[in-house]
Structure 1
Amino acid sequence: MSSTAHYIVSISCADRPGIVHAVSGALLAAGCNITESQQFESPETGTFFMRVAVATESDADALAASLDPVARAFGMRLGVHPEERPLRTLLMCSREGHALNDLLFQQRAGSLPISVPVIVSNHLDLKPMADFYGVPFEHVPVTPATKPAAEARLLELVAEHDVDLVVLARYMQILSDDLCRTLSGRAINIHHSFLPSFKGAKPYHQAHARGVKLIGATAHYVTADLDEGPIIEQEVIRVNHARTPEQFVSMGRAVEGRTLTQAVQWHAQRRVLLDGRRTVVFN
């Protein structure tokens, strides 16, 4: 007896008339019930984006086969993703655990649709946190001399664990250009919102000294342009003169954790589509 399965269909292609009609017809022919549909045409690039949630008794291969003629006719970039399958996500960290803890807590609570097969760190500080959540911890030290070998080991782990997404949860190492290209579109980073104004050590202290009134965080895809990848999510909160530098740091950590977790959630739900240097987020 067949059971109903749920899929997310993601589409991007050059905009032209008839796309929605063709996609809807193919889904109907495949026996799909559309439960959610969002679309957007980018005026800057002329690209059409669509995200459709469907329920069907067809399997993923049959659904993709039904959509293939439409995809070829319109030159689409097409994805068919089982909605129930958590996204296999490798987490990377260094010594600060706030972002890592937010991700692991939300995943365990069932509100973040990911599975975490392994945590990779260049330090041992956060191994107790990984042990607490029952996630294998891989210590991969990084020095200038060992960086190529460390990045090769990371890619081995990505392949070994069939990883869909890599998340830099305050991983304090710069990835090489080659690694950034290899992980293009499937690696997410988080940083404070002070860049490029306050670079280097203690950015929150620098911001406090300048009397800033807003602090926040930016979650973005990793690219070879350091901290300048396509932005997925941002959040800001207001501060004032009465706050200490230490309070800035504490409040900033909370924002970083929330912002990164939200970005990972939207990516895992296939709500983020790349539009050149920008993103389309069907939130």
Structure 2
Amino acid sequence: MASISIADLKMLREQLGTGMSDTKAALEEAGGDVEKATEILRLKGAKGNAKRADRSTSEGLVAVAAVDGATTMIAIGCETDFVAKNEKFIALADRVVAAVAAAGATDLASALAAPAESGTVQTVIEQQAATLGEKIELTKVARIEGEQQAVYLHRTSKDLPPQVGVVVAYSGDDADTARAVAQHIAMFDPTYVTRDEVPADAVEKERELVTEIARGEGKPEGAMPKIIEGRISGFFKQIVLLDQDYARDNKQSVAKVLEAAGLTVTGFARFKVGA
């Protein structure tokens, strides 16, 4: 049997994050050749990743990085909360979001292909998945540009990393109010900034639905226009940021709060792990 160097064993474990028994076995199989042992361990990890392909990633975290006046946000998933709070997983997210931001990626395909360390974001994730023994995947990517950006990361549990993230692009000088609006978005989950952004066919479909419901309730025909418009307004309040009641003061709309602070929101992204 080939002699196994303790220094090589320690180096491989630190480099790949593999277990003692697996690392020792790989070195023995490779006859003490570190390069060959590395290939053996990575192949074993890749096979493990393939077996985990159908598993769900309902845990994980949200991370952000700012580069060249834009903020990139990612959601990266894993299988269990045990891994979600693992230092290696958290460090992986930081490495991934830095690489995605540096590449200016705006979608999953370009993010996964972004250069990272000696390979791509995809290969870095695969290597760490092999080390941690769980399926790990990049699930969401957004790059928010604007005059300024406010970021809010929310922990759903104090012992877990952030699992809800919001980035708001805005113009104006009131950073505190901008961040408070980001907190509002985290809580109320709007889809659009303004009514104008809502697709016309979605509004028409909702109008048809509330009309049918009102008629089914036997509402007077003369009162129908007012009833329908009231319910359409309720529909907008569910999905349009500016129409929503402000989280910190429900007597004001978000639009009024922004106007008073001299702010204009030009876009936002909201990610929630597992959603």
- TM-based fold match above 0.5: no
**TM-score, scaled to structure 2:** 0.25
Higher strand proportion: 1
Q: Which has the higher contact order (CA 8 A, sep 6+)?
A: 2
Higher helix proportion: 2
Larger of the two Rg values belongs to structure: 2
